[in-house]
Structure 1
Amino acid sequence: MGLASVFSIAMLFRSYRILNCRITHPSATVLCP
């Protein structure tokens, strides 16, 4: 498991959290990381 796979997983997890935050709080996009 190389550094590229770890980085891609981290980016995927981060984008998933941002997407989940926008679904949960559509009007509060400022609170999303």
Structure 2
Amino acid sequence: MTVKTTEIDGNKIRYFEKGTSKDTLLLLHGLG
């Protein structure tokens, strides 16, 4: 599992990437 960060509309989002490019599970935190 890989932890990555990105920025959407000025909000830092941390998400976890698991699986291959065909089967990727993204869990977004900080939205809403």
TM over 0.5: no
TM-score by length of 1: 0.19
Which entry has the higher C-alpha Rg, 1 or 2? 1
Larger fraction in helix? 1
TM-score by length of 2: 0.19
